[in-house]
Chains A and B, each alone.
Chain A
Amino acid sequence: MKNFREVAAGKKSLKKDYVAVMMWFMGRAIQAAAAVDMAARKEFAGMPDGFTFALSVMPNGPHMIIGKDQRGFVRYKGWDPEGKKIDLDMKIKNIEAALLLFTFQESTTLATARNRLVVDGDVAHACAVVRILDIVEVYLLPKIIAKLAVKRYPGWSFRRKYLGRMLIYVRSIFGL
């Protein structure tokens, strides 16, 4: 045993960094969408005040934590789950699966169908989170990419799509 040398697992830092940045921006965009978009607001309205959910990559992150405060406002609560009570944790099984998701090679639903996600918490709320992620992806991404990320690209009005997109980008950049 004295010759045993512990081999550290590959860190895949670049992939983790990419996913972490995407999650950071997505988190801020979800906060923005909750303020700007009627459908996203309705989905959050179905969650209890104080509800917190996380999208995490197993085993050690990155994480994206979103919470609804006691007054009903939705906030991006950072990437560190330490000390936070998570009501719903949607865990992506590994960084490779997360990369497929965040490079939009695989939609959230397809990732679910392919067993790449583990849901720890209430399934009804998980369904709402998936719908919120779809809404945000449609706002953030050009149609040609968003069509890969969602099951059905919605037929939104010009005003909702482009005005909403502008507002969400501005709010995401400034963290509003």
Chain B
Amino acid sequence: MDMPAYYEFCCRVKIISGHDVLERIPATLAELTARRPMIVTDKGVVGAGLINVVVNAIGGRVDITAIADDVPPDSDLRIVNSLARLYREKGCDSLLAIGGGSVMDTAKGINIIVSEEADDLMRFSGANALKRALRPLIAIPTTAGTGSEVTLVAVIKDHEKHLKMAFVSNFLLPNACVVDSRMTLTLPPAATAATGMDALSHAVEAYTCLAKNPLSDAHALAATRLISDNLLKVTLNPGDKEGRLGMASAATLAGIAFGNSMVGMVHTLGHSVGSVCGVPHGACMAILLPYGLEYNMHKNGHLTAELLFPMAGAPVYAATPKEERAQAVIALIRRMNQELYEATGGRHARFFKEALDRDGREMVPKERLPDIAETALRDGSISYNPEDLDYDDFLMVMEAAWEGRPLDTGLIRKG
């Protein structure tokens, strides 16, 4: 086992997980001495009827002081400021974040402003700018992917200044997360597939990149197994409650893993594709994951090989020669993408050329690949990637991922 000379691990989020656990929210709020929560969510969650599920589960036991449902798909500074004003006006004392990554990030941003009694969120951007505990925050994920319910990061965009601000602090960890299988039952197959592959990319990069440690490894391996067992099942059969709970748990496990060992080039490029072309994060992760493993193979192939066990099971692992296991893992991920493509009627993109927006337009024009490579150079996650990448390397990987062909290993410059 690779043993780092030094590592840190922190996850102090109380995790409440199961089929009917939303009912635990009042008791959890009481433990935090909170009585007047504000719900932060988005219109998609409201439209799917999930707020009603939560409100019915809570019953009359908690005074829900405000419900804010205008969180956009990308967290936005303006919305954070306006919802912080609403929180103050209504006299709320805690937050319930119900949604995916954007909702969680927005709630974390609101919490910074209201707890620090600040007007300028920017003052707290960067790492470790927060120095004390914030107001109680309970996260209730409605996707099984981001892992934001257990991470110490929030990314909030200032759309006016075209800035993406990252906030990193242990004080951003929610006090509790409530992972209930009912909350993901209505997630459409394409979103299920993409967010599930996002969770897989968290687990795989946490296990194979530079900041891995034995504690994050344990979480990453468990997540990988649960995703391999359940992702295709729930994409084909969205009403599978056991499978949904498995995926929700996997996303939380993977979130803990990558929150403590970070991620590498798959996320570096994925953030850039998202920022330049607006491709959903999960779709980027699904496409880029095999390329990240191929690129780093000469550095961490032995770690990739170990993932064959949780992904394919003991018989396949034992029957595969040691030197072929890493390639088998990459082949399995490509096969998963293919199966998800078929299960979603072609809506799960396998490469960037076939990533389309709602109007059927190509999302990643080939001429934007240089911009993506340039943007990737400014992403902090690159520090954690085993092999170095410069502009030419990023472009080479993007060209392959755009066309959907495997990397030409002869072009990889090995350090």
By a beta-carbon cutoff of 8 Å, the part of chain A in contact with chain B is 109-110, 112-116, 118-124, 126-128, 130, 150-153, 155
Q: Is the CB of A113 within 8 A of B211?
A: yes
In the bound complex, what is the Cα–Cα distance between A152 and B413 (angstroms)? 8
Contact between chains at A118 and B384 (CB < 8 Å): no
List B contacts of A113 (CB < 8 A).
4, 209-211, 262, 383-384
Cross-chain contact B415 with A153 (CB below 8 angstroms)? yes
Q: Inside 8 A of B387's CB, which chain A residues have their CB?
A: 151-152
Query: Which residues on the B side are within 8 Å of A110 (C-beta)?
Result: 210
Tell me whether B23 is interfacial, beta carbon within 8 Å.
no
How many residue pairs bridge A and B at CB < 8 Å? 65
Report Cα–Cα, A114/B216, bound state, in Å. Answer: 13
What would 17 more interface pairs be, CB under 8 Å, given A123-B126, A127-B379, A153-B415? A109-B210, A112-B384, A113-B211, A116-B6, A119-B126, A119-B127, A120-B128, A120-B129, A123-B166, A123-B378, A124-B379, A124-B380, A130-B383, A151-B387, A151-B388, A152-B413, A152-B414
Interfacial chain B residues near A118, Cβ < 8 Å: 127-128
Indicate if the CB atoms of B383 and A127 lie closer than 8 Å: yes
Question: Do A152 and B5 have beta carbons less than 8 Å apart?
Answer: no
**Quick check: is B377 within 8 A (CB to CB) of the other chain?**
yes
Q: Is the interface of A mostly helix, strand, loop or mixed?
A: mixed
Residues of B within 8 A of A130 (CB): 383
* B351-391 at interface with A (beta carbon < 8 Å): 377-380, 382-384, 386-388
* A123:B380 contact, CB within 8 angstroms: yes
Residues of A near B209 (CB, < 8 A) are: 113
Min CB gap A113→B, angstroms:
4
5 cross-chain pairs, A with B, having the tightest CB-CB distances, nearest first: A152-B415, A124-B378, A113-B210, A152-B388, A123-B380
**Are A115 and B126 CB-contacts (below 8 A) given A123-B166, A152-B388?**
no
CA distance A120 to B5 in the complex (A): 24
Q: List 19 A-B contacts (CB under 8 A).
A: A109-B384, A113-B4, A113-B209, A114-B4, A114-B211, A115-B6, A118-B127, A119-B126, A119-B380, A120-B128, A121-B126, A123-B126, A123-B380, A124-B380, A128-B378, A150-B415, A152-B413, A152-B415, A155-B413
